[in-house]
Amino acid sequence: MRTFHIKLKGGAQKSTIVCRKDVLAKQLKGDLSWLNAGGALIFTDSNVYALYQRQIKKLSLPVFVMAAGEEHKTEETLFALLKEMAEVGLRRTSTLIALGGGVVGDIGGLAASLYMRGIACIQVPTTLLAQVDSSVGGKTAIDFCGVKNLIGAFHQPVYVYADPTFFKTLPARELRCGLGEIIKHAALNAELFDKLSAQDDLFDMDFLARIVPDNIQIKADVVEKDPTERGLRRCLNLGHTTGHAIELTQNDLSHGECVLLGLLYESRIAARHLQTDGAYLAALSALIKRVLICDGKSIDIERAAHLALLDKKNTKQDTVTLSVPTKKGEFAFLELDYADYVRDLKEIREELC
Ligand code: NAD
Ligand code: GLY
């Protein structure tokens, strides 16, 4: 068992992250007395419920199940959940338990932030991606008007329980998605980069379970310094401007896969505009290609670039803002004119495919 605390400025909010096995049977069961006292609702998705309903039912808490998938990260699901929270009688002292991947965590966290102007949320991330990234740090959101995460709030979970036993039921593709965010962290942290580079089988479950806490530590350190993304936290968006734009144009690719593609494109963009370490960027690309199985040939570059222009991270109208890797453990913020960005993406696609 390993425990982290994220203390935010002002000391008002604190998030405790516990890495341990058998969270449903042990941790949440142990929490039941205080959960029942304040009232609680479990929010999960159809896949997770189908796999874990026996353990979930043993908790004897009300459950709300959304249809699984990013396409349901919508206002309809958010409001259906809020309605359920009202109907089961959650109060200010109640807790919403978001049990699932990043989609459940993002919608659940947003609902918890809105309900009665904010109630407690416990994140129980069940995908690799959610354990190493989305459950930590308090970003919550839904997609809206064709833009990823357009409506959201910062709402720190009171607890995050990260349990590697959930990985046993994860399809290989979901491990690949989690590795997308792990490689993003490795691009910010030389030690993690070396660990990944030295590992023969990046999909080995024991290895992944071991590096979950490393990833949480990397993210927690950034969030503690900049909880609401005024500056430093933008480094966690590495590969994400292009990645999110690709994600919106490609229904067949998941978030993690698009992050990997975004990292691949943005490391080459970095080499074109900034002082970078060529050998390191080549090693980073090689690491990405060990995980990514699609080549991105079918990406609609014009559409993706247009969507990148609408990204909420941009600060000016005709520029695209990127966080890009430069040297081992180093990154830079890069603001590109839209025309240059489109040209770069097109040329890089030719190089890659
Ligand atoms: P997801 O929640 O859609 O989960 C992926 C799939 O795995 C789903 O089909 C889900 O039902 C299934 N699943 C979940 N747990 C399982 C388990 N233990 N066994 C078998 N199947 C399981 O997607 P994700 O990759 O977890 O998260 C992606 C989302 O996270 C995106 O919406 C992205 O925007 C968001 N995200 C948010 C942050 C943040 O800081 N808030 C960071 C990164 C990503
Ligand atoms: N996933 C980026 C962040 O949490 O800031």
CATH code for position 32: 3.40.50.1970
Do 179 and 297 fall into the same domain?
yes
Q: How far is the CA of 72 from the centre of ligand 1 (A)?
A: 12
Residue pair 109/138 in contact (Cβ under 8 Å)? The answer is: yes
Cα separation, 60 vs 55, whole angstroms: 10
**Confidence tier at 7 by pLDDT (50, 70, 90):** confident
Do 162 and 71 fall into the same domain?
yes
**Domain tally for the chain?**
2
Do 234 and 133 fall into the same domain?
no
**Confidence tier at 12 by pLDDT (50, 70, 90):** low
Do 331 and 247 fall into the same domain?
yes
Kindly state if the Cβ of 77 falls inside 6 Å of ligand 1.
Answer: no
Residue pair 88/36 in contact (Cβ under 8 Å)? The answer is: no
| CA dist 348 → 72, 246, 294 (Å) | 32, 14, 15
Do 338 and 201 fall into the same domain?
yes
Average pLDDT score over residue span 175-188: 96
What residues flank ligand 2, with Cβ below 6 Å?
133, 137, 139, 233, 236-237
Place of tokens 């399809």: 171
Do 150 and 231 fall into the same domain?
no
Which of 107, 135, 169 is the endpoint of a domain? 169
What does the pLDDT look like over 139-159, one tens digit per residue?
999 999 988 899 999 999 999
Cα separation, 185 vs 125, whole angstroms: 18
What does the pLDDT look like over 267-280, one tens digit per residue?
999 999 999 999 99
Strand partners, 14: 7
Q: Alpha helix (H) ranges present in the chain? A: 29-38, 46-58, 75-87, 102-114, 128-129, 172-188, 190-198, 205-225, 240-249, 255-273, 278-291, 301-309, 338-352
Q: What's the one-letter identity of residue 129?
A: L
Do 146 and 192 fall into the same domain?
no
Q: How far is the CA of 71 from the centre of ligand 1 (A)?
A: 12
Per DSSP, the three-state class of 221 is helix
Contacts of 309 by beta carbon, 8 Å cutoff, 6+ apart: 318, 320, 338
Which of 139, 169, 199 is the endpoint of a domain? 169
**Confidence tier at 133 by pLDDT (50, 70, 90):** very high
Pocket test for ligand 2, best of 136, 156, 219, 255 (most atoms within 8 A of CB): 219
Q: Domain limits at 184?
A: 172-352
Kindly state if the Cβ of 127 falls inside 6 Å of ligand 1.
Answer: yes
pLDDT for position 10:
55
Tokens (6 digits) for 318: 């005709």
Do 161 and 187 fall into the same domain?
no
Do 89 and 137 fall into the same domain?
yes
Tokens (6 digits) for 279: 């050998």
Query: Is 82's pLDDT higher than 90?
Result: yes
DSSP conformational letter for 148: E
pLDDT for position 13:
74
Do 128 and 7 fall into the same domain?
yes
Which of 154, 169, 184 is the endpoint of a domain? 169
Residue pair 120/147 in contact (Cβ under 8 Å)? The answer is: no
Lowest mean pLDDT across 2-11, 104-113, 171-180? 2-11
CATH code for position 240: 1.20.1090.10
Do 240 and 305 fall into the same domain?
yes
Supply the residue whose CA is at minimum distance from atom 3 of ligand 2. 236
Mean per-residue pLDDT over the chain, rounded: 93
Do 31 and 156 fall into the same domain?
yes
